[in-house]
């Protein structure tokens, strides 16, 4: 590697360290991504779109997958934007490059019976009323993990069956609280939260055994324990309940715009991922139960 490359790379990585507080492992991965280009030219300011396109093609032929190539291109764009901001380049050669087409991953959705198994498993924990109320509210209102664990008592309106949620970007939304979630919350707030609370406890609805607010990590660990107790294969993530909330609403005939509002999505495009899940569900129902939906020779229980 030439001195020009080394100086430019070190300067860029120093900036990332200061401005974004990235870990040493992440910085090293970024360094390796950009070093792929160093053998192709002596000075980074001589990079062209053609050189970068050839390097991407070479990475693909070497077996690098779409996500890895997308990360590669992201690192290159960041590096050349840095050189552009420093006045070393007039235009970044990476800006107009097309990234690889990434496969769309469908959200992890739990069937209704698995959600019910999680709720039932809460009855065997050290804090059954709290744990049941958390699962009921997370699934019944589609809250993010940070929204659930940070929810203050003042934002819960059980008489109106509503919860006020402050989500991403400090955007406020009002979400209905289902009847069963409301009942679980009433019991928990009356019988178990007072036993968990301390003089210095925060106003959070859900407290840990020390009287502090249950953290996102604590909520994640709780879900893993419930999943294991319920005999569910694989990890159950906090977002699985949010995905299930949206998918089950659409399966039941809910309007997409209403689901978007309840989830707090800024764009309807984000919510539309659940319509793909809904379509897959409908296709499976049709295949399983329609007399002309099954392939020849398939039984009704196939």
Q: Which of 6, 32, 168, 279 is catalytic?
A: 168
* Residue recorded with tokens 């407290």: 207
CB-CB contact of 251 with 281 (8 Å): yes
The SS3 assignment for 253 reads coil
Set 114, 144, 193, 243: catalytic member: 144
Residues 76/31, Cβ–Cβ less than 8 Å: no
Clarify whether 144 is annotated catalytic.
yes
Helices (H), the chain: 3-20, 24-38, 49-61, 66-85, 112-121, 128-141, 145-149, 179-191, 193-196, 216-229, 238-251, 256-263, 268-271, 273-289
Among residues 82, 193, 242, 243, which one is catalytic? 242
Catalytic residue among 30, 139, 188, 274: 274
Q: Are 86 and 10 in contact (CB under 8 A)?
A: no
265 is catalytic: yes
Pairing of strands 162-166, 156-157: antiparallel
- The single residue of 6, 46, 221, 239 carrying the catalytic annotation is 239
Q: Is 193 a catalytic residue?
A: no
Check if 46 is active-site: no
Q: How far is residue 218's CA from residue 209's CA, in Å, rounded to a whole number?
A: 11
In contact, 97 and 48? CB cutoff 8 Å: no
Crossing angle of the two packed helices 128-141 and 216-229, in degrees rounded to 10? 100
Q: Which residues are catalytic?
A: 144, 168, 239, 242, 265, 274
């Amino acid at each position: 590697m030439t001195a020009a490359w080394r100086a430019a790379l070190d300067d860029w990585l120093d900036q990332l360290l200061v401005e974004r507080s990235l870990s040493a492992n992440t910085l090293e991965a970024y360094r390796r991504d950009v070093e792929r280009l160093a053998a192709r030219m002596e000075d980074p300011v001589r990079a062209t779109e053609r050189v970068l396109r050839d390097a991407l093609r070479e990475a693909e032929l070497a077996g690098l997958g779409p996500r890895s190539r997308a990360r590669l291109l992201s690192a290159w764009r960041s590096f050349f934007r840095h050189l552009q901001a420093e006045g070393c380049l007039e235009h970044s050669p990476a800006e107009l490059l097309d990234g690889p087409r990434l496969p769309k991953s469908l959200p992890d959705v739990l069937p209704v019976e698995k959600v019910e198994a999680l709720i039932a498993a809460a009855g065997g924990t050290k804090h059954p009323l709290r744990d049941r109320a958390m699962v009921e509210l997370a699934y019944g209102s589609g809250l993010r993990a940070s929204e659930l664990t940070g929810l203050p008592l003042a934002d819960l309106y059980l008489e109106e069956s509503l919860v006020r949620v402050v989500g991403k970007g400090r955007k406020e939304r009002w979400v209905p609280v289902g009847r069963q979630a409301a009942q679980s919350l009433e019991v928990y707030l009356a019988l178990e939260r007072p036993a968990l609370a301390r003089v210095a406890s925060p106003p959070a609805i859900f407290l840990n055994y020390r009287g502090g607010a249950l953290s996102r990590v604590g909520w994640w660990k709780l879900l893993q324990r419930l999943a294991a107790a319920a005999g569910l294969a694989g990890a159950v993530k906090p977002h699985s309940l949010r995905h299930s909330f949206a998918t089950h609403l659409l399966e039941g005939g809910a309007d997409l715009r209403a689901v978007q509002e309840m989830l707090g999505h800024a764009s309807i495009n984000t919510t539309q991922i659940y319509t793909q899940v809904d379509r897959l569900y409908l296709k499976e129902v049709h295949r399983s139960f329609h007399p002309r939906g099954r392939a020849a020779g398939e039984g009704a229980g196939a």
